[in-house]
């Protein structure tokens, strides 16, 4: 579908279930994380947009200048665009925008982290698989009531251990409740990582009764 500002897939879940905002990695599509979302939190609504940036035929959620170097102006624009997409979708499909949990891998995790660090009101939590620090906020940030699962690889060639710890520290200092899950692999999803994220989501779902709920 393409009636909002992204091409996307929408799959409704149970009444009053939270909504998973599924954000693919570089070169992915709106279809990539649908099965993962269903496995992570059965019965959740699933909203899965395709990134609007084309990099040599590969879809991304924002531009980069080189590997690991982001176009910060474009990142800010695309982050706001994604926020608008979620708010507009919530009106069209009737889900609560205060009960949206982002699930992102790599580039998708980076734009989800940007939503958090920009103080966007649309996320109550996030599962970030192999995320970098998209930017460091200039102003104090209040993420009290927001829960974040960080999945990281100890031998990830793209996201260093130091960068993962920096992102965790930024989120925690802003008041977020962070769960950091290390796996021995590199820059790919592993079964233990997915299982850990599923346990985290499923244990916390019953507590998502308001924007201020935490996992």
Residues serving a catalytic function are: 106, 156, 187
Q: Spell out where the chain has E strands.
A: 8-11, 19-23, 45-49, 53-55, 58-60, 64-66, 69-70, 100-105, 125-129, 147-153, 177-183
The DSSP 8-state label assigned to residue 99 in this structure reads G
Angle of helix 107-117 versus helix 72-93 axis, rounded to 10: 80
Q: Which of 215, 208, 214, 211 is nearest to 17 (CA)?
A: 208
Cβ contacts of 28 within 8 Å, gap of 6 or more: 50, 51, 59, 105, 108
Helix (H) or strand (E) holding 51: none
Cβ contacts of 185 within 8 Å, gap of 6 or more: 153, 154, 155, 156
């Amino acid at each position: 579908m393409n009636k909002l500002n992204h091409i996307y897939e929408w799959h409704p879940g149970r009444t009053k279930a939270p909504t998973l905002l599924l954000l693919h990695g570089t070169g992915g599509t709106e279809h990539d994380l649908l099965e993962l979302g269903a496995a992570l939190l059965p019965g959740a609504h699933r909203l899965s947009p395709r990134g609007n940036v084309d990099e040599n035929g590969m879809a991304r959620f924002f531009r980069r200048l080189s590997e690991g170097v982001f176009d910060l102006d474009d990142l800010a624009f695309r982050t706001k665009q994604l926020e608008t997409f979620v708010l507009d979708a919530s009106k069209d499909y009737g889900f609560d925008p205060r009960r949206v949990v982002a699930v992102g891998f790599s580039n998708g995790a980076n734009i989800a982290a940007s939503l958090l660090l920009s103080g966007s009101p649309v996320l109550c939590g996030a599962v970030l698989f192999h995320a970098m620090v998209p930017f460091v906020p200039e102003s104090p940030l209040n993420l009290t009531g927001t829960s974040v699962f960080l999945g990281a690889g100890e031998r990830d060639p793209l996201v260093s251990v130091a960068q993962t710890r920096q992102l965790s520290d930024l989120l925690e200092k802003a008041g977020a409740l962070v769960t950091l899950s290390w796996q021995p692999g590199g820059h790919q999803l592993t079964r233990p990582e997915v299982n850990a994220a599923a346990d985290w989501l499923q244990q916390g779902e019953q507590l998502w009764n308001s924007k201020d709920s935490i996992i």
